[in-house]
Each structure stands twice: as structure tokens, then as C-alpha cells.
Amino acid sequence: MPFYITTPIYYVNAAPHLGHAYTAIAADVLARHQRQRGEDVFFLTGTDEHGEPVAIAAEEQGVAPIELADRNSQRFQDLMPLLDVSNDFFIRTTDPEHIRRVQEVLTRVRENGYVYEGTYEGWYCPRCADFKTEAEIGPGNTCPIHKIPLTREREDNWFFELSAFQGELERLFDERPDFVMPRHRYNEARAFLAGGLQDVSLTRPKLRWGVEVPWDRSQVFYVWFDALLNYYTALGFARGRQQDLTGRFWPATYHIIGKDILKFHTIYWPALLMAAGLPVPEHVFVHGFLLTPSEDGGEGEKMSKSRGNVIDPFKVIEDFGADALRFYLAREVAFGQDGPVSESGFMTRYETELANDYGNLASRTIAMIRRYRDGRLPATEHDPALVADFEGLVETVCAHLDRAEITTALEEIWKRVRRLNRYVEERAPWQLAKDPEQAAELDRVLATLHEGVRIVTVLLAPYLPGATAKLMAALGRTGPDDLRIDAARWTPAPIEVEALEPLFPKR
């Protein structure tokens, strides 16, 4: 089955921060999981380079927009392998192929009768690059997201007739209750729709930094339409001119986005696709914000570069590795909700869960097989009590991840990690080892532990690609199918293990 997953494309007005790493990691967990299931996966990420936010930042720094875009896009491209993110392509909206395809699709939208000339007057946030509706304006005409004054804009431009899609969008939401996930975000999008759609600017006359409108060279496309189309245009040129992936992967299975860009992805985007005569995506999954904990114990505020209250992902990776960051972000904040993150929270999870619960479990298991059995065990039946506690685990994890519930799926796996730790304490192999009559029982306990560790490791591979690969190598399982989801089953087989360095060294 084709599985096409995307992240938002990141603005290049500044360097990457933790919020960007968050979306990329979440999408990567889902992409890696679907690959484990043998699906035909395409995973796209990239940078959003046109428009006002970038033009303003470039001007402030006294450089040409393309210079700033090149510099910062490179930082995002460098971040992906550091995060162990396995994207299949990285699109830049300054790619000439993208530009050409944006012009093509939007010309088609015009030919289909959904574009007209008009005058826009209203409130605009230059940082969101968003024309705000009355309902979206904060106190004193400010942007509710950036808390800066909105500007009053009046300009002659081309409009997209969004209002023509009111009925079709309502039908889409009625027929496909999982078009937007989770449920509270579906309701939010639905409420926006219920407020009645107004037409939106498709082009902007004053800006030069954008994709030229082919039928009116005095204008460029409004950056959001240029940006949204990346999900579609990329498939046309990601593999060069010879291979067009559109037929294979369109429409997208999942767009993963943050809650601040919900309106664009759940309303504008499907309407634009309808106007172009293209199929709409299967799901838009909307995640929450990572917040900095507030000192008064309150809700905290959105982490953002401009407010300087960030955990630096580059630094965390340097000190603790990509797995630790991936794990923390997937685990700490329920995916889909807002939640606080902090360095102390990170350290606690690192030490208690990664180093102790999992890393130590793996080290002890291997060390005991080496100490008591020279690293080898014959094929042995596993302890039915433990096997029973893993019943249905694979199916549950798959079901959660089919719904992009990465935190819930991880908790299901972690329950088994904790169960294995209890098993070690309950069965105390070091006691069994003292009694020669218990030799067969010791074999069985060690084989059961080994197998339990191997199963959770297969399931953890999308979250912890680095550590799980090391551990699988120590278990002698480096074959092409060893990380497939089908390998996460109890299978009696001869065992041979090798020494393992601590997966998550204590700091």
C-alpha cells in the first residue's frame, strides 16, 4: 500500500528550533513504522522560502532573500540526518520545478473559473503571512499567535473563490470524520467552516519575493498557496524527470502539521485541490505546541525562536544523541495535545526510562546470557506467563500508529519494557544460576527475557533507530527482515549474543 507522509515545510527566516524537530521526528516515527510493515512509503519534508516572513528577515539582515534562504534551508537539510529523520526527499520552494508546477496548477484553477480580480482590505500578520478574519484578531488588533500589531492592508489582487467550496467542504467533513485528526481539531476546523467561508487573496502585488503569476507579471502568488502546493509538486520531480511519483503516491496519506496552521491545511488546501480537480489528502493530523513550563506552574507559553525560550535540538543531539531527543518528544507530550518540555524533564526521562528501564534491561539480559551460558542458548519454549502479557501488542501498536497516536503506541510498548524489568526481579536468574537443578529453568527464563527484549526492540525501532540497531546487532539479528513488524512475535530459536556497550550512558 502506498503511504505518503509530509511535514510542514519550514520557514527559512530563522534557524531550526525544537518545534521544527518535533514535527519532523513525529512524521519520521510514522514513516519508519509503515516501512516496517512493508508499505510503499514516501516521506517528504522541506523549506518554505518565499513570502513576507523571509523577505522581512533578509532585509533586516541586509542580505538578498535567496541568500538567507540558501543559508537557512541548508541548516534544515543538515538537521534531518542529525535527527535520524529518514525523509525520501527535501523540497525547496525555490526549486525551479516547484515554481513551474505551482504556476501550472494555479493557472488551471483560474481556467476552472475560481480566480477573479478584486481589492482586498483587512488585517494582516506579516509574521504568519496570514490575512486574519474578524474572529482571528486579538485584543487591540494584534496577532493572537505572535502578539504583534496587525497591519491594515489594502491591495488590488487576484482572489481565490474559497466560498464556492463551502458545500463541498461540508460534505468532505461529513463523509470523512477522520479527515482531520484528532477529534478536537476536526471540531475546530468544522467550526471555522460553519462560520462561512470568505474568498481569499491568491496573489500579492507589493511583494517581489515569490512565484510570479503567469497571467499578471506585476504580482506574485500569496506564499501559502505556493507553499501548500509543495506536497503535490514534489512528487513530480523528487526522482528526476524520468520518474513521476504522483500517480503512485497522490493523494497524501498524512499531512502532519502544528495547530497554528490548521486553517490553511484543513480548509484552504482541500478547497484548492478541489478547484484544481485533484483528489484531497486522506488525513491531516494536527499536533499541539511544545511549551516552556511557566514559573507559576501555569500552562506555559509556546516555545519559539523569537521568544528565546528554547531547548536547542542541536545541543541535545550532541550531548545525548538523536534517539534521546526523539524519545523525549514522542513520550513527554501526548501527540495531538500541548505540553511543557524542559531540560530537567528531559534528564529525568533519559535517566529513568532510557538508561534504566530500557538500556539497563538490555545490558543485564545480554550480560546474564554471557555470564551463565557463554552467550548461547538452545531454542527454548518461552514462559507462557510473559507471552500472555504481550498478547495483542503488535496489533495495538499498529492500530495506534495508523491513527498517528505515537505517544499512546509508545506507552503500550513501554508497559512491556517495565513488565520485562519486573520479570527479571521476579525470576532472579542469579538465584537460579546457583542451583544446577534449575538449569533448564534458567535457560527458559533467559530465553524469554531475550525474546521479550528483542520484541520491544523491533517495536521501538521507529522511535530509537540508533539504539535499536546496536542492540539488534548484539542479538545477532541484522538480517533484512529482522526489523520487520512480523519479527515482533515470540519465536523459539537458538540464541547467540555479543557484548553490548551501554545504549544510554549515565551522565
CB of 169 to ligand MSP, least distance (A): 18
* Known catalytic membership, residue 98: no
* Known catalytic membership, residue 263: no
Catalytic entry in 33, 132, 287, 302: 302
- Calpha distance 67→57 (Å, rounded): 11
Catalytic entry in 33, 98, 128, 255: 128
Question: ∠ CA(248), CA(263), CA(274), 5° rounding?
Answer: 45
Q: Which is nearer to ligand MSP, 302 or 349 (CB)?
A: 302
125-144 core/surface letters (b: 16 or more CB in 10 A; e: else): bbbbbbbbbeebbbeeebbe
Helix/strand/coil (H/E/C) assignment for every residue in 21-41: HHHHHHHHHHHHHHHHCCCEE
Q: What are phi and psi of 496, to 5 degrees?
A: -145, 120
Site residues for ligand MSP, 233-262, by CB under 6 A, read 257-258, 260-261
Q: Which is nearer to ligand MSP, 90 or 289 (CB)?
A: 289
Catalytic entry in 17, 263, 287, 382: 17
Catalytic entry in 50, 132, 143, 255: 143
CA torsion 243-249-255-256 (nearest 10°) is -80
Q: Does 95 bind ligand MSP (CB under 6 A)?
A: no
SS3 446: helix
CB of 154 to ligand MSP, least distance (A): 25
Stretch that binds ligand MSP, among 20-28, 82-90, 102-110, 490-498 (CB under 6 A): 20-28
C-alpha cell at 6: 509530509
SS3 140: coil
Catalytic entry in 20, 50, 283, 287: 20
* Known catalytic membership, residue 398: no
Q: How many CA atoms lie within 13 A of 416 on its CB side?
A: 29
* Known catalytic membership, residue 315: no
**Site for ligand MSP (CB under 6 A): which residue of 22, 123, 124, 372?**
22
**Site for ligand MSP (CB under 6 A): which residue of 225, 289, 346, 504?**
289
* Known catalytic membership, residue 128: yes
Stretch that binds ligand MSP, among 18-26, 35-43, 353-361, 392-400 (CB under 6 A): 18-26
Site residues for ligand MSP, 30-59, by CB under 6 A, read 48
- Transcribe 376-442 into DSSP letters: EE------HHHHHHTTTHHHHHHHHHHTT-HHHHHHHHHHHHHHHHHHHHHH-HHHHTT-GGGHHHH
**Site for ligand MSP (CB under 6 A): which residue of 9, 150, 393, 413?**
9
**Could you tell me how far CA 1 lies from the centroid of its own chain?**
20
CB of 261 to ligand MSP, least distance (A): 5
Residues that are catalytic? 17, 20, 125, 128, 143, 146, 302, 305
Residue ranges in contact with ligand MSP by CB under 6 A: 8-11, 19-20, 22-23, 48, 227-228, 230, 257-258, 260-261, 289-290, 302-304
